[in-house]
Amino acid sequence: MGSERLAVGLVWYGVLLASIVLHEAAHAFAAWRLGDPTAYRLGQVTLDPIVHIRRSPFGLVVLPIISFLFWGWMIGWASTSYDPFWAIHNRRRAGLMALAGPLANLALVLVAGVAIRLCIAAGWFEIPMTISFTQVAQGSSEGLSNSVAVAVSILFSLNLILMVFNLIPLPPLDGSAVLTLFLSDSAAERYNRLLYNPSFAIFGLIIAWQVFGAVVRPVHELAVSLLYPGVVFQ
């Protein structure tokens, strides 16, 4: 691995770790405020990455490295403790708790988008000729400006990826619990039987990954078109 690729990989990992930690801390905080103190008591209402790495070492260390080596971008996962009995008997609150993680990622997408537009207005960034997950903006000069542009581009793309993937309405992803917010009590009860079935969770992940592969780039292109209205890229 060349030094430039290694540097990009380190930026990817730093952004990924911060993004997933915020996602999980948002779940834990929302659960605590909505009546389930499980994650709070276990110290998961925190932005300390070590706490989350200890709980999910494969998802926060091994998987990001593998995904970067194979695809050139990173994906990972972590989890937050919660009381399933509380979730079953408070499905709307559980749905809001599940929604808190993707909303945290959306907030980071918006922060990155605003930062890109402000930096372009200030002359520090430029609109690139071509778009990728690593290049949503480019520096107006080599060096620090371009390095910051890469980091902000990754922040924009990665949090969009995490938000979209987690909102797929299949277990064990957040979208499966969010979906119950829109179901009747009887339909939600039937659906919950699937949510807590381990074999269906594995099946759900396989399907979600196939769906995600088909939608992630079109969604990224749509987000970039909203960031740069009227701009056509090569």
Q: What is the pTM for the complete model shown?
A: 0.92
Residue 125's H or E segment, with its range, is strand 125-126
In whole angstroms, what is the distance from residue 73 CA to residue 11 CA?
11
Q: Could you tell me which of 7, 44, 10 has the C-alpha nearest to residue 25?
A: 44
Q: Could you tell me which of 104, 112, 102 has the C-alpha nearest to residue 156?
A: 112
* Cβ atoms 50, 24 nearer than 8 A: no
> How many residues appear in the chain?
234
Q: Give burial (CB, 10 Å; 0-12/13-18/19+) of 40.
A: middle
Q: What is the pLDDT along the chain (234 residues), one digit of tens a residue?
A: 578 889 899 999 999 999 999 999 999 999 999 999 999 999 999 999 999 999 999 999 999 999 999 988 888 989 999 998 898 889 899 999 999 999 999 999 999 999 999 999 999 999 999 999 999 999 998 888 999 999 999 999 999 999 999 999 988 899 988 998 888 888 887 877 777 777 777 777 788 888 888 888 999 999 999 999 999 887
What is Dmax (Cα atoms) for the chain?
59
Mapped onto helix, strand or coil, the DSSP state of residue 90 is: coil
